[in-house]
Amino acid sequence: MALVEINFDGIVGPSHNYAGLSLGNLAATANKGRVSAPRAAALQGLAKMRHNLGLGLAQGILLPHRRPNTDWLTELGTDVSEADDVLRAAAFSAAAMWAANAATVSPAADTADGRCHLTVANLRTMAHRSHEWPETLAQLRLAFADAAHFRVHAPVPATFGDEGAANHMRLCPRHGAPGVEIFVYGVSGGGFPARQHAEASKAIARLHGLDPDHRLFAAQSEEAIAAGAFHNDVVAVANETVLLAHEQAFADRPGLYADLRRLMPEVEIVEVPAADVSLDEAIRSYLFNAQLVTLPGGTMALIVPSEAKETPRVAAWLERMVAGNGPIRRALTVDVRESMANGGGPACLRLRVVADPATVDPRFLVDEAKLDRIAACVEAYWPERIAPENLAAPGLRAQIEAARAALLDLLGLPDLA
């Protein structure tokens, strides 16, 4: 099999709005009440996918969820017209666009049964995301239906919060080879919730059949969570033999680094000192919420949001990194400003799956021509603007539902809601 890393990006849904629902996500709460631009947001996401295709990377998609989620409101004894503003906004949430929270993925090379395992995240900490998992599960079970190569697990019990691949990293000699999987969990967040529970991470490692000698559990530092690093991927990212992390990312940094060097001597740890880039600068710029990728020629590139190059000390560090003799040879920029304003950078928008593309449902894979068709659909159907007060308007609901239906029809996919 030709195993490659495929990035499955969430298409930004037509209900994308700024309701500020995510406690601890500083960008989301700071922009609460702003007028959003769903059409521009979706086109920015598609442009990022096109950019990565142009680099020679494999690219897939995950779909916007049905919004508003009227079934969820019914379970709460209300509906769109009667719900209070917070519940209504939660029912309209387009946060499923951040596919890094869709699931935790262990490639076939790491698992006991030789299949790629995916466990859907329960996202139980935040109300607006807690109702995503049923549709995410349905999508993943369709996209990865080949039981000879994949196993898709339902979420771990909601007693233990799990927020998916945003708190999971993998180091390996190459994507298709056995590796070391790192599960990062939170203990305390200095007033913000620690969203990833250690027990959820341990359960996923067991469900995936990972070798106990090639998995690590690391606590995120309280300083990072308190500064706004609500997920590990805001302060660290890994790819093949490279770990890129902020100096203050982990509670026991020396212990984690020692374990990594013991299990994988070839690991290259690129640490950004707090003296060069503060936690505040790292989080505002989303330097680490980037896609660290291996290009077809074998070199590595870091795909950062525009904000990283616009933050002076971050830009200076990136210049020094590229000019040096380290493993990351290029720093590339993408514009995902609409997503960034709601608290999600390039890494948030994608779920990494190591697989043979031939084993994936082709409707979830894209090329330039398919992206052109999706972009035309977005241009035709996605709302141009949404103000918070618009969510109660029947006309907006109808437009959002029609937009999603048009996309499903274009892709030949069923409504899995």
- Active-site residue set: 163, 231, 348
* Contact in structure between 201 and 210 (CB atoms under 8 Å): no
- Determine the Cα–Cα distance for residues 136 and 122; give it in Å rounded to an integer: 10
- Determine the Cα–Cα distance for residues 317 and 44; give it in Å rounded to an integer: 26
- DSSP secondary structure code for residue 210 in this structure: B
* Contact in structure between 62 and 102 (CB atoms under 8 Å): yes
* Contact in structure between 152 and 204 (CB atoms under 8 Å): no
User: Which is it for strands 180-185 and 215-219: parallel, antiparallel or unpaired?
Assistant: parallel
User: Which is it for strands 116-120 and 103-106: parallel, antiparallel or unpaired?
Assistant: antiparallel
Q: How many other C-beta atoms lie within 10 A of the C-beta of residue 275?
A: 8
Two tokens, residue 183? 């599960």
- What are the φ and ψ backbone dihedral angles of 221, each rounded to 5 degrees? -75, 145
Coil, helix or strand at residue 245? strand
C-alpha to C-alpha distances, 206 to 51, 100, 174, 212, nearest whole angstrom: 36, 20, 23, 9
DSSP character string of 80-140: TTTS-HHHHHHHH--GGG-GGGTEEEE-GGGBTTSSEEEEE---TTSHHHHT-HHHHHHHH
Contacts of 174 (CB under 8 A, 6+ apart): 240, 294
- Determine the Cα–Cα distance for residues 99 and 237; give it in Å rounded to an integer: 15
**Does the bond joining 68 to the residue before it have cis omega, within 30 degrees of 0?**
yes
Query: Which amino acid would we find at residue 312?
Result: P
User: Which is it for strands 103-106 and 58-62: parallel, antiparallel or unpaired?
Assistant: unpaired
* Contact in structure between 269 and 241 (CB atoms under 8 Å): no
Kindly tell me the sign of the dihedral angle through the C-alpha atoms of 26, 291, 121, 215. Answer: negative
Q: How many helices (H) and strands (E) does the chain have?
A: 15, 15
